Amino acid sequence: MKKNKHDAQLFKTAIKIGLAYALKRGYSLPEIPLSDPQKAEIIYRLLVQDKLIIALPQDKEDGPQIKHRLVVWISKQLPPEHPLLN
């Protein structure tokens, strides 16, 4: 996996935008507080279901791989001149 110096901020942005997307789609989030890995998995599964990203193989579906997939997804959604992409 290629690392970017802004991966942590890109991941936070992916979580924020992904949750907004989930709510817009009518997905109701649980009332209990969720950790970032739980949020990432929810967003990942929704994006796969909507065919916005390609699913990882079953044996590679773990936290770091899902995080990387979300970082790649959000990197493609942001405009090229966005500060997190430079």
User: Could you tell me the domains of the chain?
Assistant: 34-79 (1.20.120.1930)
CA 52, 56, 39, 13 torsion-angle sign: negative
Mean pLDDT to the nearest integer, 36-40: 94
Higher pLDDT, 61 or 4: 61
d(CA 61, CA 17): 21
What pTM was computed for the model? 0.89
Mean pLDDT to the nearest integer, 24-47: 93
Mean pLDDT to the nearest integer, 5-12: 93
Query: How does residue 5 score in pLDDT terms, banded at 50, 70 and 90?
Result: confident
pLDDT at 3 over 90: no
pLDDT at 31 over 70: yes
Pair 23, 29: CB distance under 8 Å: yes
